Chain A
């Protein structure tokens, strides 16, 4: 795998309604969506949650294939969680072998867990796919700005996040350059056991750290030269504005949330009716 193939948290520029939403709305609604997923208590309610993400993706213009790509790195975690729940949840045994046994409740919990995690990742990936890192940190800063009154360094943390995000591609490029340079001197990065491989990474990590510190110092100097003194009294080039799209998105999410709650209650009634009969 090439380092430059990493796509986690990558932004895909576009002009869709979701792209044009205010980052604060998107952040809040993503949080609401995560809560929605964990509120869902039965299959019907969860299906509503899945539908939410399935409707949102086409509206963003981001291809559905990207969801699959975004879930790839966490696939092992999903499988692990699934298997864990499958065997360890108590209930009526449906199948057993030696010390392993699967219960009906286990199947249900495992399936729920996997679907929830998948939706969770797909939902938060949608946020980063459609929001530029700068807009995202701006949104975070604004949302957390009430904490400034309590003395929390909100602006500083947001600035650090912006800088960190900005330097990811730079550092990836730098790593590739250093790797090439050491390979040109015969460094062998591909063979050997785990300890040899870790040792072989040293000629890459040391120059990388040195250059990261150098870049940090240069950046700090450049910021001071431009009179950066923190967030106080700082105006913005891009002023965040809430538009009718945000209102529509809030209404849309609220409708889905109500549907999930309704599904939860309705299913209980259904179970009650079945037992009455």
Chain B
């Protein structure tokens, strides 16, 4: 199967040709397959935001190419909008982009720009609102009357309503409380499973990445440092820590336990699997104790 997004030697230099010249991303070659859930990590300034803004053509590469469904998106710059509907991008703090007088109209902004018929727009708005668990009666309210978490979910619905092939979310849980965070991530996972669309999740939270993503892209100093399965990325804990990143807490605990001689694999990334292994180990010990 051909990759949904492919980049070929992608580089972006800000303020090219001046003294302030600075490469934000350098020579990026990645292939993202259809239906994958990819976590994107990297410390601040590693080029994550610049990279994801290339995937839907908001930024034009200084050199290199981006292919969406095998098409070079900058071949016809006039048609760039087509790719923005295919690759939906939810920015950080997306609630600051709400502007319409009702939540319904705001969610409908994207689908309407796509030129869809009114019934289709209506269908998509209601579906998207259902995905982010916004009650139908909230749709007629002003977006400025909603709570912080509701605003965030309404803004995400605005992108989901375009039904993009790829959904990219830049730290969708920043500034939310733990419950709001789990809720939004749960909804995104459900969306991913039901629509089997591709999802890219930018996050600083290694637990969230381990829990939801199948593959992880690590950016460091403007380059892709690793792009592999969650298991193989988090098994390189030392390298990640050297570049100022981390591994999930539970992985750290299992590493320490393994060092202390406990028979537990340091390649444990979720609390669920750690719990299962610990219960297994405890179960094995009890008969010995009974002797």
Contact = CB atoms under 8 A, between A and B. Distances in A.
A113 interface: no
Interface string A161-184: 000000000000000011011111
A203 B109 contact: yes
A184 B84 contact: yes
Contacts of B96: 177-178, 181, 207, 210-211
B98 interface: yes
Interface residues of A, number: 17
A186 B91 contact: no
A185 interface: yes
Contacts of A177: 91, 96
Given A203-B109, A210-B144, A184 B88 contact: yes
Contact of B98 (A183, A187, A202, A207): A207
A177 B49 CA distance: 12
B110 A186 contact: yes
A17 B98 CA distance: 49
A182 to B, nearest CB: 6
Interface size bracket, B side: 20 to 34
Residue among A187, A188, A202 with the highest chain B CB neighbour number at 10 A: A187
B94 interface: yes
Interface majority SS (helix, strand, loop, mixed), chain B? helix
A206 B105 CA distance: 14
Given A181-B91, A210-B144, A186 B97 contact: no
Contacts, number: 54
A180 B168 CA distance: 14
Contact of A202 (B85, B88, B99, B158): B99
Residue among B81, B84, B96 with the highest chain A CB neighbour number at 10 A: B96
B99 A186 contact: no
Interface string B79-91: 0010011001101
B50 to A, nearest CB: 12
Given A185-B113, A185-B158, A206-B99, A180 B85 contact: no
Contacts of A210: 96, 144
A8 to B, nearest CB: 19
Contacts of A178: 96-97
Contact of A203 (B53, B99, B144): B99
A175 to B, nearest CB: 11
Interface of A: 177-178, 180-188, 202-203, 206-207, 210-211
Given A177-B91, A186-B110, 8 more contacts: A180-B53, A184-B56, A184-B84, A184-B91, A185-B162, A186-B84, A186-B109, A207-B99
20 contacts: A181-B94, A181-B97, A182-B97, A182-B109, A184-B88, A184-B159, A185-B97, A185-B109, A186-B85, A186-B110, A186-B113, A186-B114, A187-B109, A188-B113, A206-B99, A207-B96, A207-B97, A207-B98, A210-B96, A210-B144
